[in-house]
Amino acid sequence: MTPLLSVVVPVHSIESYVEPCLRSLLYNGLPVEVIAIDDASTDSSLSVLSRYPVRTVSLPSRVGLGAARNLGLSLCSGTYVWFVDGDDLLPRSALSSVVRCLSLDDPDVLLVGHALTSGPDPSSAPSVPYGPSSVRSCPSLLRVRQAAWNRIVRVDLLRRTGVLFPDGLYEDVPYSHLVLAAASRVAVLPSVCYLYRSRVGSLTHSVSPGHFDVFTQYERLFATLSTWRASPRLLARLHAVMLRHYVAILGAPARVPPSLRRAFFDRMVLHDRAYRPSEGPPLPASALAVRLGSYDAYRVGHLAKRVWSWARDGKDLRMTATEPPPDVVDDEVTDVLTGDEVVHVSPAAAELAETLEHEHAPTFLADVPDWDAEDPLPSA
């Protein structure tokens, strides 16, 4: 009998995390297929996996998170697939709620709510009408955190479109948006169904040139959507999401090396110009310096935010690796800001702004949702 749901669990040297993860998946009495991909762990993770009734594949050399997930996808036999990271876990009733929602709504994609170890996440689930929706009728779906683990996807949709995880960091970027773009029915389960555990030493919490991978991932995303003949309005909204993401990464305290921050900003400017739509949602104030193409303006604006926050809250908001200021998004999963900022600028600055000018993709031709031509473009 074909299971309704396959769960793919990539594992790499997380022996102290993987057992609670497996327990949360297995001890629920539901017929769920669990596939664990041990990505050449150097600790006893593989030994832990061997003690549980899961299908385990052990790789002789490390391939990375994206490739491990792709291998798991190729092995799964369920109607839907859920990629659960081995250092996270599910709440007690999560699987039963997910299976019930999949059975009742029959969606192409199911978005689920989640919580962080530090507390509830305000962007956990969007506010949408009851019942299945789509990007066309509910564009706020694009603002949900970019992650593989907060969306359960119909396997046939992935195989039909050829959507897979690319190599490199931020591999969730193309996957997250492409499955939404290709889906006709998107359901939302706002209750917390996933517990994300922040782990010291993870790549996206480390200062590294690897954060430049995010540019390649957005290039892959837009190249695929171009091949799919995606709606200009969809591209416009994703352009705004992209800029918010870049600003969040550069503003985080422990990501881009200080010596490379200006180079990172320059790449942001190039991407803004390359993918800038003729019309689209208003830019967040934090992205204004990107539009101006001025790194000095970005630094001044970033400092002004910190000073303003200090004056507002009476707190020391110096950028440190141990305690990032609350007004800077430091989210290794999506880095999408939850709302546009409102700032006040001097008349001279406003006048200056007014004078400035405003890998291989699959050949699947997606029926990418579009808004009617006469409808106003939804605001961000």
Q: Quote the mean pLDDT of the chain.
A: 79
CA distances in angstroms from 102 to 23, 72, 80, listed in the order given: 22, 20, 9
- The whole-angstrom distance between residue 134's C-alpha and the CA centroid of its chain comes to 18
What's residue 341's pLDDT?
Answer: 30
Mean pLDDT for the stretch of residues 266-279: 93
Which tops the pLDDT comparison, 91 or 362?
91
* C-alpha to C-alpha distance for 8 and 25, rounded to whole angstroms: 11
Query: Beta strands 119-120 and 186-196: pairing type?
Result: unpaired
* C-alpha to C-alpha distance for 152 and 149, rounded to whole angstroms: 7
CB 82 within 8 A of CB 6: yes
CB 87 within 8 A of CB 41: no
Which pair of tokens denotes residue 309? 């926050």
Whether the predicted pLDDT of 151 surpasses 50? yes
**One-letter amino acid identity for 366?**
A
* C-alpha to C-alpha distance for 378 and 380, rounded to whole angstroms: 7
Most confident by average pLDDT, 126-130, 283-287, 332-336:
283-287
pTM for this predicted structure: 0.79
Measured in degrees and rounded to the nearest 5, phi and psi for residue 138 equal -140, 75
Residues 6+ apart with CB under 8 A from 72: 8, 9, 10, 35, 37, 57, 81, 83
Half-sphere exposure of 46 (CA within 13 A, CB side): 11
- The whole-angstrom distance between residue 353's C-alpha and the CA centroid of its chain comes to 31
- Residue found under tokens 């996440």: 121
Whether the predicted pLDDT of 319 surpasses 70? no
**What is the rounded (10 degree) CA torsion for 135, 249, 220, 122?**
-20
Q: Which of 140-149, 261-270, 347-356 has the lowest mean pLDDT?
A: 347-356
What's residue 206's pLDDT?
Answer: 83
Concatenated DSSP letters of 193-233: EEEE---TT-GGGS--GGGGHHHHHHHHHHHHHHHTT--HH
Q: Which residues pair with 192 in a beta bridge?
A: 113
- The whole-angstrom distance between residue 79's C-alpha and the CA centroid of its chain comes to 23
- The whole-angstrom distance between residue 149's C-alpha and the CA centroid of its chain comes to 9
What's residue 133's pLDDT?
Answer: 76
**One-letter amino acid identity for 261?**
R
Q: Which residues pair with 34 in a beta bridge?
A: 7
CA distances in angstroms from 256 to 109, 264, 292, listed in the order given: 33, 8, 21
Strands (E), the chain: 5-11, 33-38, 55-58, 80-83, 109-116, 119-120, 151-154, 186-196
Task: Compute the Cα dihedral for 246, 267, 200, 68 and give only its sign.
Answer: positive
Which pair of tokens denotes residue 293? 């193409």
What confidence category does residue 83 fall into, taking pLDDT thresholds of 50, 70 and 90?
very high
Q: Which of 89-93, 134-138, 166-170, 314-318 has the lowest mean pLDDT?
A: 314-318
